[in-house]
Amino acid sequence: MAKRIPVIAANWKMFKTKDEALEFIFAVNAAVPSRDEVESIICAPAILLNLLVKREGEHIRIGAQNMHYADEGAFTGENSPAQVKTAGAEYILIGHSERRSLFNETDKDVNLKMHAAFKYDLAPILCIGEQLDTREANKTKEVLDVQLDKAFEGVSKEQALKTIVAYEPVWAIGTGKTATPQMANDTIKDVRAKLSDLYGAEVAAQVRILYGGSVKPDNIESLLQESDIDGALIGGAALDHKNFLTFTKAAKNK
């Protein structure tokens, strides 16, 4: 079976002006590893997508951070999957913890967005994760299993293979707290086991599963040394282009 290509995905959240975005992409275009070594993705605000797509180098790809699941409609302020696709994005973040907690996104919404992504040939980066009280109650696997069951409802085996899963313990996002590499790997092994239950071991072995949660230049290598961590979804630390290149270099050496 072919090796899983590592993924480094930067989530810019609500940061960067037009000029800052251009400065970043011009700095990294020629310096990231080739796409057959590392999948290097920038998930940018919708207003910057086309700007970045027009200037992306051969080995950088652009993703959106959110979209509505409807094809079109009276949803002021939202972006449709068709709009995301025609802006040139190839990836879409779905179910990020901030969307769930700040904007009341439900597991049902996540599933609808998964199906919308496949309809428009967008590759989902599906985010799952647990709160601190869940971790402390030893119910992480139980909660993640439910999130996976609901997210993948009605999703075919072929579609599952196009999905990247990002495990992000909510208690470690932007807090400075990080799951230990072994803790993150053990949880990701549980996620892969759940995917095996849903789609079989062969599919589960091919799906890339990322870790997200206070990933920094000084811990990326130790995280990527783990057997089942296939890369990282990185917020604040990836806003700096030098850090982003550090992350992609570490992924190349995995």
- Annotated binding residues, written as ranges, equal 11-13, 174, 214, 235-236
User: Rounded to an integer, what is the distance from CA 133 to the centroid of its chain?
Assistant: 23
- What are the Cα distances from residue 15, in Å, to 21, 48, 237? 9, 10, 12
Closest CA to 18 of 45, 56, 58: 45
Binding-site positions for substrate: 11-13, 174, 214, 235-236
State the residue for tokens 């799952």: 128
Determine the Cα–Cα distance for residues 109 and 143; give it in Å rounded to an integer. Answer: 17
| Token pair of 251 as six digits | 């992924």
To the query of whether residue 115 is one of the catalytic residues in this protein, the response is no
Catalytic residue chosen out of the listed positions 98, 130, 168, 226: 168
Closest CA to 142 of 94, 201, 187, 207: 187
To the query of whether residue 168 is one of the catalytic residues in this protein, the response is yes
Q: Say how many CA atoms lie within 13 Å of 237 toward its Cβ.
A: 24
Catalytic residue chosen out of the listed positions 39, 59, 68, 96: 96
- Sequence-distant (6+) residues with CB within 8 A of 39 are 5, 6, 7, 8, 9, 61, 208, 231
196: left (phi over 0), alpha (psi -120 to 50) or beta: alpha
Alpha helices in the chain (DSSP H): 18-28, 49-53, 81-86, 97-102, 107-119, 132-136, 140-151, 157-161, 181-199, 201-204, 220-224, 241-252
In contact, 60 and 28? CB cutoff 8 Å = yes
Report, as residue numbers or ranges, the catalytic residues.
96, 168
